[in-house]
With several copies, the nearest count.
Chain A
């Protein structure tokens, strides 16, 4: 779920950019290290970024205006690690802002935080945890994709609530409000993305 261009006040836009910066900077360092050791990863990561972008243009059934790229980011974070995938996610968000007017430049920091960083770290953590606990693969995949989606949506609601606290209920009231409003699209979306990820992985394994 993208926050549109200019929606956050300047202080918040800057604040979230500052919050994202260390993750992206460390990710870029890891990326540079990786490319030095393994030049082939350059083209692979480029293609994965393209894939993540295009995946968000696959419309899921019955959900309008959806955007499915935590799925792509989750995929990538299992393959390349969450740090590098945070960077790839940030690049994808940049292209979405510039080529599709989806998201924005001033909200790039906030969106990167909720989608690229939280998305890839949570998907990766759930994947690892499921693996460690010995959960069935399909269940792990479903949880990783859908929970990281839900986390993104919760963080976005929090970001909006911090910027626009409720006159009566304050920040907590605003969180409830935004969670409620966007639940209509985001909860079904998270579920269908979980299912989609399971189906995709099974197709790929059978290949």
Chain B
């Protein structure tokens, strides 16, 4: 059934170029980290709220970049998208319906919205790569045959076919990042949510990763990712949302948002340094 849904998403994605219908939506989210100091006790520059009235809609088939500096609230927002965090006020909607935070409701949501963390070691646990990827499907109580098929498909989708028998610590950092994505793909989600997918990768590693994400996107996957790399957002995203201090400063077509210098400057995303140098003609 999940497979079916995935294929539907694929066909829809192919059939209608953006704008597709809204899959996932955050409406007026507020969230404070538990244990955050009261406003009076804050160090200068610290905020009490990680998200302050954040709204954002994710449409089917889109590649949406969440741009923002460190501490802008990107990761916090992503953790709301699959129900890991629950907002203090506001709501997250999946296909127009508020997220059901019961155990069963969360399990259903997380099958559709797969979150891949920045540090792959946060998600990898098993003895070998193939075993690790098999966790999701087996946990859904799929049988061995279907699980094996999904594991192979997921490994192939990230270019790790034939490496399944290796233990995770024998993979490089870039390979582990892709392994974590394979673990998410084995759930056959409709939306792939990636926290800083290119962090720590070199240009070649980024190319390889994006090649695989391109192929997934072409088959209809919706991709939401956070980054503070403007080049990545400009060249790879369809839409960009700029986050700053827990608020969405701008959201729209990538080129339009990224050409708005005022927004980027406000979000602390442009280096005064390179601009200055560039102005000096270097």
Contacts and interface: CB of A to CB of B under 8 A. Distances in A.
Direct A–B contact present (CB less than 8 angstroms): yes
A126 to B, nearest CB: 26
Counting contact residues on chain B (CB < 8 A from A), the size range is under 10
B127 interface: yes
B126 interface: yes
Contacts of A44: none
B162 to A, nearest CB: 22
A41 to B, nearest CB: 15
Interface string A168-207: 0000000000000000000000000000000000011011
Contacts of B126: 203-204, 206-207
Nearest to B127: A206
A33 B11 CA distance: 47
Contacts of A203: 126
A204 B169 CA distance: 13
Interface in B169-195: 169
A46 B126 CA distance: 11
A206 B125 CA distance: 11
Interface string A99-132: 0000000000000000000000000000000000
B213 to A, nearest CB: 29
Interface in A30-75: 43, 46
A46 B124 CA distance: 13
Nearest to A203: B126
Interface in B115-167: 125-127
Contacts of A46: 125
A61 to B, nearest CB: 12
Contacts of A207: 126-127, 169
A102 to B, nearest CB: 15
Contacts of B125: 43, 46
A101 B65 CA distance: 42
Nearest to B128: A206
A88 B126 CA distance: 18
9 contacts: A43-B125, A46-B125, A203-B126, A204-B126, A206-B126, A206-B127, A207-B126, A207-B127, A207-B169
Given A43-B125, A203-B126, A207-B169, 6 more contacts: A46-B125, A204-B126, A206-B126, A206-B127, A207-B126, A207-B127
Interface of A: 43, 46, 203-204, 206-207
| 3 tightest Cβ-Cβ pairs between the two chains A and B | A207-B126, A203-B126, A206-B126
